[in-house]
Homo-oligomer: A and B are copies of this chain.
Amino acid sequence: MNSNTYQNTKELIATAGLKATHPRIAVLHELLTNEEHPTAEQVHTALQPNNPSVSLGSVYRILEKLVEVGLARPVASRNGLKRYDARTDSHSHIYAVNTEEIQDYYDEELNDLIKGYFDKKKISNFKITEVKLQINGEKADPDKKVTIV
CB distance from A25 to the nearest CB of B (A): 25
Is A87 in contact with chain B by the CB < 8 A criterion? no
Is A5 in contact with chain B by the CB < 8 A criterion? no
Is A89 in contact with chain B by the CB < 8 A criterion? no
Inter-chain CA distance A114–B134, complex, in Å, is 11
Chain A count of residues within 8 A CB distance of the other chain: 47
A113 proximity list for chain B (CB < 8 A): 113-114, 117
Stretch in A6-14, A49-57, A135-143 touching the partner: A135-143
Interface residues of A in 96-147 (CB under 8 A from B): 96-97, 107, 109-110, 113-114, 117-118, 121-141, 144-147
Contacts A74-B78, A77-B78, A80-B82 given; does A135 touch B128 at CB 8 Å: yes
CB distance from A86 to the nearest CB of B (A): 15
CB distance from A26 to the nearest CB of B (A): 23
Q: Can you list 25 pairs linking A and B with CB atoms under 8 Å apart?
A: A74-B78, A75-B78, A76-B76, A76-B95, A77-B78, A78-B82, A80-B80, A80-B81, A96-B126, A107-B121, A110-B117, A110-B121, A121-B149, A122-B148, A123-B147, A123-B148, A123-B149, A124-B146, A125-B139, A125-B146, A128-B135, A128-B137, A131-B135, A132-B136, A133-B133
